[in-house]
Structure 1
Amino acid sequence: MGKDVRRARQTNPWLVLAVLCASFFMTLLDTTIVTIAIPEMAAGLGASLDDILWFANAYMLVFAALLLLSGRLGDRFGPQRTFTAGLAVFTVASAVCGMVDTPEQMIAARAVQGLGAAVMMPQTLALISAVFPAERRGAAFGVWSAVAGLATVAGPTVGGLLVSQLDWRWIFYINVPIGALALLGAVLLVPDVRSGQSATLDLPGALLSTAGLSLIVYALIEGERYDWGTIESFLSIPLVLVLGILLLGLFALHQRGRQDRRPLVPFELFRIRKFTVSATLAALLLFCSIGVLLPLTLYLQSALGLSAAQAGLALAPGPLVSLFVAPVAGNAVGKVGGRIILVPGLMIFGAGIALMAIMADANSSAWAIVPGQIVFGIGMGLVFAPTSTLAMQEIPPRLIGVSSGMFTTFRQIGAVLGAAAVGALLQSRLAAEGVPEEVRRQAGRLAESVYAEGLTDAVRYSLFWTVATAVVAALLALLLPAHEKRPEAAQNPEPQVGADAPQTVES
């Protein structure tokens, strides 16, 4: 690289942040953008409700399951190269998603998309830690958190506009020009930061964690389809769940034996209370966010008969309100501490969901859920950014890279389990409300008015379960310190990438 580019890399970290934010905004947006296009995708591809759940979960499952391994790929090959490779895979897979003709092709393409996102995502926080000096790193993390929170909940709004104005395929095609520009920025602006040490990949650990999580999520998604019983021969849903839990247990034992050899999961991270509580809260928040978006999208389009654009706009107040609240909350957390913001914030978050559940009715208009959306948005703004900031606040410099990968993994596991659990709950409640099997498996036909009341009751039931999760999260936030104490590790950290190594920047 020339001297000018090298100088730009060193003196313009905000340009690097812009490239990173644009890239991971796409990956998180694609976690939820599919929900708004459910009726159109079902009709266009001849997909059942089971297929549609896998359109979302194939992406999120691969995304979450490979994050730990991807963090180590960044340590081994350099986060810039790993980030660029993941971005390229994600962009190409997005184009393929827009061209598929069958549900099976869509599920496969979404899985590859998830692979690209998983390779890319852990590198973003590591690169931010590398290119920003200590005194500006907090602001950069705040921007990252705000963009992450916005992307997670903006999917239905962006998707609704694309579906209505163009076609459902454009929820994927839109990633292609953005991805191409981000790739150019990644090559020209993002520095090639190296750890200076080799990193083992721990493939056995990656296989155990991936297999265990995959089995659990499969059982949650397909449980209702098989009446939580036999799948084929001796194979059953309970057996799949047990196998998944056992594999995750073996993964934990495997990691215990590797604590002195750069493990995928350094156990010392969990001795840091702020990280452990914040990472768990992040998982619960994503669980709740997905648990709100999926039922509400079905309710607005299939019960109320709104178009994709109308449904997207009906879901817009929450994200818009959170944009104004999040910066204030992010600045306040360093002054007053996490507990004083997160506990009431989570209660407001849950109250917004409860208000939407109460107001949802098969004969009402979309305006009925707007007050709940506003309260929900205030809660989102109070909890998303502070949770990310608190998670990284007391992390030793040598663990910044791996901790960012772990935090992102917790978030995505929450999203995966949220989509799987709420999808299973919806199917179960639809069955309990008397909606026939053949209709439940064809999402596009749910718009028939005779089934609107049953669907609305199922949606309301799912939302109240999400409220219960928010209350659990609020109780968990009580474990945070009552008063803020400025940690020594955060006062003067040196920029690090990876688990424990110094950096070099190569041209």
Structure 2
Amino acid sequence: MPLPEKEAWPALIALCIGFFMILLDQTIVAVSTPALQTDMGASYNEVIWVTSVYLLTFAVPLLVTGRLGDKYGPKKVYAVGMIVFTLSSLACGLAPDMLTLIIARGVQGLGAALLTPQTMATINRIFSFERRGAALGVWGSTAGLASLAGPILGGIITENWGWQWVFYINVPIGVICVLAVLKYVPNFPPHTRPLDPLSIILSVCAVFFLVFAFQEGEDAGWAPWIWIMMAGSVVLFAWFVYQQRRAERAGNDPLVPLAIFRIKNFSLGNICIVAMGFTVAGTPLPIMMYFQQVHDMNPMHAGLMMVPQALMAFVLSPYVGKLVDRSKPGKLAAAGFATTSVSIVLLAITMMFDLGLVSALVAMTLLGIGNSFVWAPNSTSTMRDLPHQYMGAGSGVFNTTRQLGSVIGAAAIGAVMQVRLSAGDPGHAFGQALLLAAAVLLVGVVASMMADDGTRDPS
């Protein structure tokens, strides 16, 4: 049953503290990477793995951790994940060598994987059907604030206190978050049927093969073993789907109940979030490289060029969330995807024809507006029709598809950029790489337009 408003909002704020920290960690660490490399005397490969291992351990278990919230209760799993994330953050800051740091980052990613699916699953449980859009608007504005704060805080902290403090800052926030969640987030009755063990193994292996192949593909020159891993992932995913049917017949809980894909909006929403993950993960690199290499900005100034995007998303997301509760979320999401695509095309043209920083700032502002009309409407449309017993599984699927889109987007846009850079003009290379994201976003437009906006409370 939904909570009264005066109880639901403190619970949401408690959950968003952790969500903010997870998103902040992805950007704040990237800014501190050059200082970390110099201080630790690390190789380029070691520095890459500080980020790669986090993304790997974050993405691979999401299907499992989402279902753990259904089985043991999202409050307990969230608290455990935050404790793991907080302790591993401390270990990252104290790491005496790169091997220790990489291992600690891997554990940190696992903690993030435990808590992330529980946020959305809990929001959809504690808020009434009519108020979920507003709640997801706060969730979206949290993402906007984290995107804004990450590059700026990363530069300030690294310059004044050292790279270790980008990890130490997580410790007091993590403690506050755990205490707040334990106090304000209610317990939900767990599901007692055992999860199918073979499904767990198949899902972990399938996602690992796919993510690892895309992460290593460019460095490996897309060697045959990369394609073998991708093919193996497809086979394992097919086996995983077959195993879900067998698990139900055997009396076990399938890791992903296939019935959720019969819900039209859920299936369409997952297609949309792949497109958004592709864009969000793939576009920052060419944008940052454009500002730094073409306009000779330092990393701090380049990061400040992202402020209009994040600021617009932060300001508009709560209002869009309220609008979702009174409007058609599918149509709002389609408008957001279309605006985001147009803004990226404008930014690409700015880069290719060197139209100047004013044009770039206009494009970044439009990008923030488009973003704000994607997250809450798409999340609401995707999750609102799910029965409560499938919230954890649905959230796990939603976050997994988002992460897979992110990994594929980063690899694909990076590959296009590398090929075009070898051909000559950097501005053209960065702009042409962005056009791939603009094209993928059109998939989000079409899928959102197909969504059924005549939703009703499934509970």
Between 1:271-280 and 1:51-60, the stretch displaced more is: 51-60
d(CA) in 1 for partners of 2:439 and 2:399? 23
Q: 1:145 aligns with which of 140, 148, 158?
A: 140
Please give the secondary structure, in 2, of the residue aligned with 1:91: helix
d(CA) in 2 for partners of 1:433 and 1:187? 56
Residue matched to 1:33 = 28
Change (3 A) 1:398 1:227: closer
* Alpha-carbon offset, residue 154 of structure 1: 5.1
d(CA) in 1 for partners of 2:4 and 2:384? 25
TM-score (norm 1): 0.81
The residue type paired with residue 411 of structure 2 is A
Residue matched to 2:226 = 237
Change (3 A) 1:226 1:405: closer
Question: Which residues of 2 match residues 378-389 of structure 1 at below 5 A?
Answer: 378-389=369-380
Residue matched to 1:255 = 244
Change (3 A) 1:200 1:292: same
Q: If each structure's helix is expressed as a fraction of its own residues, which one has the higher value?
A: 2
> Is 1:53–1:221's contact at 8 Å kept on the other side of the alignment?
no
* Alpha-carbon offset, residue 178 of structure 1: 0.8
| Unaligned residue ranges in structure 2 (runs of 5+) | none
Q: 1:64 aligns with which of 49, 56, 59?
A: 59
Q: Deviations over 1:354-375 (max 9, x none)?
A: 2222223798875552111011
Question: Which residues of 2 match residues 438-453 of structure 1 at below 5 A?
Answer: 453=425
Q: Deviations over 1:42-68 (max 9, x none)?
A: 434445555444333322222122112
* Alpha-carbon offset, residue 250 of structure 1: 1.9
Residue matched to 2:111 = 116
d(CA) in 1 for partners of 2:168 and 2:286? 25
* Alpha-carbon offset, residue 120 of structure 1: 1.1
Q: Is it true that 1:352 corresponds to 2:361 in the alignment?
A: no
Residue matched to 1:307 = 298
Change (3 A) 1:223 1:10: closer
| Structure 1 vs Structure 2 CA RMSD | 2.9
d(CA) in 1 for partners of 2:383 and 2:200? 24
d(CA) in 2 for partners of 1:199 and 1:279? 26
Residue matched to 1:178 = 173
Q: Is it true that 1:202 corresponds to 2:196 in the alignment?
A: yes
Change (3 A) 1:202 1:326: same
Q: Deviations over 1:226-264 (max 9, x none)?
A: 22225xxxxx22222222222222222222322453211
Change (3 A) 1:97 1:311: farther
d(CA) in 2 for partners of 1:369 and 1:275? 35
Please give the secondary structure, in 2, of the residue aligned with 1:192: coil
* Alpha-carbon offset, residue 217 of structure 1: 2.2
Question: Which residues of 2 match residues 154-173 of structure 1 at below 5 A?
Answer: 155-173=150-168
Please give the secondary structure, in 1, of the residue aligned with 2:188: strand
Q: 2:214 aligns with which of 220, 223, 229?
A: 220
Residue matched to 1:85 = 80
* Alpha-carbon offset, residue 40 of structure 1: 3.3
* Alpha-carbon offset, residue 347 of structure 1: 1.7
Aligned residues: 455
TM-score (norm 2): 0.89
> Is 2:81–2:112's contact at 8 Å kept on the other side of the alignment?
yes
* Alpha-carbon offset, residue 172 of structure 1: 2.1
Q: Is it true that 1:396 corresponds to 2:416 in the alignment?
A: no
> Is 2:75–2:185's contact at 8 Å kept on the other side of the alignment?
yes
d(CA) in 1 for partners of 2:291 and 2:96? 26
Q: Is it true that 1:288 corresponds to 2:279 in the alignment?
A: yes
The residue type paired with residue 91 of structure 2 is V
Residue matched to 1:320 = 311
* Alpha-carbon offset, residue 71 of structure 1: 2.2
Q: Deviations over 1:442-482 (max 9, x none)?
A: xxxxxxxxxxx54x44422321211111122222223223x
Question: Which residues of 2 match residues 430-445 of structure 1 at below 5 A?
Answer: 430=421, 432-433=422-423
